[in-house]
Amino acid sequence: MIPYYSQPSWHIAGPVTVHAFGLIVATAVLVGSHLAMRRCIRKNLSPDLCADLAFFTVISGFVVAHLYSVLAYFPRQLLSDPLLLFRVWEDISSFGGLVGGVLGIWLFLRYKATSLDRAARLAYLDAIAWAFPFAWAIGRLACTTAHDHPGTVTTFPLAISLESEQARGFIAGLYKEAGRLSELPPWDRLATMGFHDLGWYEFLYTLLVICPLFLLFDRKARPAGFFPVLFVTLYIPVRFGFDFLRIADVRYFGMTPGQWAALAAMPFVFWAMLVVSRSRPPETVPVAE
C-alpha cells in the first residue's frame, strides 16, 4: 500500500503558509495554459485569443467550482456562515470546475469572439479540451497530497496505508463525522488496512488511461468537438463509480452531488457523441481574425 503522509507545507512569514496543494494546482494551471497555447499555434489559431479564452476558462472554473462545492456539499455551513460563499479560495468541487470551465468558454465565445463562426469556435474548444486532461492529472495529484477525497477502508493494494497512528486517527475522524465509526474494524486490524484515496485513483486513471488515449486519438484528424466529448465519456462513468466509496460526503436520495451531476450530464454526452459522430474532420483549419 501507499504510505500515509500529511500534506507538505512551508511557513513563509507571519500568517503566510504555502501548501503543496496550492503549488501543484498553480502548476496544473500553467501546464494546461501552455499546452492549450501550443495546440492553438499548431492548429493555426490565434494565440492571443487562445490565451484570453484560457484565462476565462480558469477563472470561471474556479469560481463555479467553489459555488457548487458550497451549495451542494456544505449547505449547513453556508446557513451559519453566509460569507463562505464569497471565500472562493476555500472548498472547490471538480464537477463544479468542469461546469464552470464550460460556462467560461461559452461566455467568452458568445460575447468576446462574436466574429468566429461555428467551426472556428469548436476548434478553439477542442484546443482547450485537448490540453485539459494533462492539467487535470496534475490537479488530482494536488488532491492526493491533501487527501481531499478519502474513501472507505479497504485492503486494496493501491490504497493509502493505515499503518501509522496518524493515518488511523485521520480516517477514524472522518468515519466519526459521518456517523459511521461503528463500521471500523478493531484498531489492530485497522493498522493492516488502508483507505481508498479517490484523488489518488483519479490521478492514476487520468495519467495512465485518459492522457495516453488523447495522444493516441490525436494521431489523425478528428471532428471538431471530439476531445471534449472523449474526456467526459471516459471520466463521468468512472467518477460515478468512485463516489460510492466516499465516506462523509453529503448525499441526496442515496447519491452524492457528483453522481447527480454525472447523471444530469449523460443526456448531453449522448447528444454530443451523436453530433460529433456525424461530423467530418475539417479539410482546412479555421483561422481566427
Please state, in angstroms and rounded to a whole number, the distance separating the CA atoms of residues 105 and 108. Answer: 5
User: Cell 492522457 sits at which residue?
Assistant: 211
What is the tens place of the pLDDT at every residue in 214-249?
999 999 888 878 898 899 889 989 999 999 999 877
How many C-beta neighbours within 10 Å does residue 138 have? Answer: 21
Reported as half-sphere exposure (CB side, CA atoms, 13 A), residue 107 has a value of 15
Please tell me the predicted confidence (pLDDT) of residue 216: 95
Residue 88's pLDDT band (boundaries 50, 70, 90)? low
DSSP for 83-148, please give it. Answer: GGGG-TTS---HHHHHHHHHHHHHHHHHHT-TT--HHHHHHHHHHHHHHHHHHHHHHHHHHHHHT-
Q: How many CA atoms lie within 13 A of 185 on its CB side?
A: 13
* Half-sphere CA count of 56, side-chain side, radius 13 A: 21
Is the pLDDT score of 137 beyond 90? Answer: yes
Tell me, what's the pLDDT at 164? 94
Question: To the nearest whole number, what is the mean pLDDT of the chain?
Answer: 85
Identify the pLDDT of residue 288: 45
Q: Phi and psi (nearest 5°) for 18?
A: -100, 125
